[in-house]
Amino acid sequence: MSEDIRAAAAKYYDLDPNPLDDVPFYERLILSPQAYVLELGCGTGRVTVPLAASCGYIHGIDRSPAMIAICRPKLEKAKIGAEKVRVDAGDITNFDLARKFDLIIAPYRVMQNLETDREVAGLFECIREHLAHDGSCILNVFNPRRDPESMRREWRVDGEIFCWEMLVDGGKIIHHERRPRMDAAKLVLYPELIYRRYERETLMDEAILKIAMRCYYPGQFEKLIVDYGFQIMNRWGGYQNEMYGQGPELVIQFRL
Ligand SMILES: C[S@@+](CC[C@H](N)C(=O)[O-])C[C@H]1O[C@@H](n2cnc3c(N)ncnc32)[C@H](O)[C@@H]1O
């Protein structure tokens, strides 16, 4: 697998003081305590660990060994054994687990990290191969909430945008975002997430995570799923019952 772009920044991921409040939403969509769940891009287990308590088995895959290395001790600490959960390094655009799942999820905008049409096609192919005939898949992206022209004009900025600051033992961690470039034709954003840890006023660590975020508009996201041959079951605009297209997120549940 390619280099782990999250190696340096993974340790800061769980500190986000405003994480998505999506865990109860996914818990409600587990229809049976025996359900087999596949989590694509499970990261540090933010969703994996709580969901393991509500389903029969959950399998997480993520391309970042550093994120998985944070997830595994959490599972041990929660005493969730190998009969209930497994997390592996893997590419969500190209994998074969040789089994079907009742629910496939990719929480917190994972699919937006897929930059190319080829990767997106690989994702949908893998979903098709792993979804039970009566199962469902839920994908989520953010709602751009401004038209493409405004996005092209306004998203890129000079300098750093302050996101949050947190006091930790003997110092603080400050998170900023840079927005240096975008692919204006394909509407792929290339933000850089910067974490700096200070002891008193001395900079002790700086981690920079450069990611791709491919944008989808409400109609375009639905069409993509339908064009790949799936049937849409439900759509939401967020995790607090917002209408599709009117909230901060675009969340679609679909089946074969
Ligand atoms: C924003 S994090 C979300 C993590 C977790 N789902 C959550 O909700 O907290 C995105 C995750 O997707 C993973 N990811 C992105 N592209 C991937 C790919 N092609 N294959 C596997 N994992 C991928 C990243 O490594 C990262 O851990």
Which one of 111, 113, 114, 209 would you pick to mutate in the ligand 1 pocket, going by the greatest count of ligand atoms within 8 A of its CB?
Answer: 113
Q: Taking the domain 148-213, which CATH number applies?
A: 2.20.25
pLDDT over 80 (residue 1): no
CATH superfamily entry for domain 10-143+216-255 = Vaccinia Virus protein VP39 (3.40.50.150)
pLDDT (average), residues 202-221: 98
Residue-wise pLDDT for 147-156, tens only, equals 999 999 999 9
Contact 62 CB / ligand 1 (< 6 Å)? yes
**CA dihedral of residues 125, 130, 136, 140 (deg, nearest 10):** -50
Looking at the chain, the domain(s) classified CATH 3.40.50.150 span: 10-143+216-255
Q: What are the CB-based long-range contacts (under 8 Å, 24+) for 218-227?
A: 218/143, 218/244, 218/245, 218/250, 221/139, 221/141, 221/250, 221/252, 222/252, 224/120, 225/139, 225/252, 225/254
Contact 189 CB / ligand 1 (< 6 Å)? no
Q: How high is the pLDDT of residue 8?
A: 97
Which one of 4, 23, 64 would you pick to mutate in the ligand 1 pocket, going by the greatest count of ligand atoms within 8 A of its CB?
Answer: 64
- Distance between CA atoms of residues 201 and 242, nearest Å: 42
Q: How many CB atoms lie within 10 A of CB 134?
A: 10
Residue 170 Cα to ligand 1 midpoint, Å, equals 31
Q: How high is the pLDDT of residue 170?
A: 85
Residue-wise pLDDT for 170-195, tens only, equals 899 999 999 999 999 999 999 999 99
Looking at the chain, the domain(s) classified CATH 2.20.25 span: 148-213
Residue 201 phi/psi, 5-degree rounding, is -105, 10
Q: Give the residue whose CA is nearest to atom 20 of ligand 1.
A: 91
Contact 113 CB / ligand 1 (< 6 Å)? yes
Q: Give the residue whose CA is nearest to atom 24 of ligand 1.
A: 41
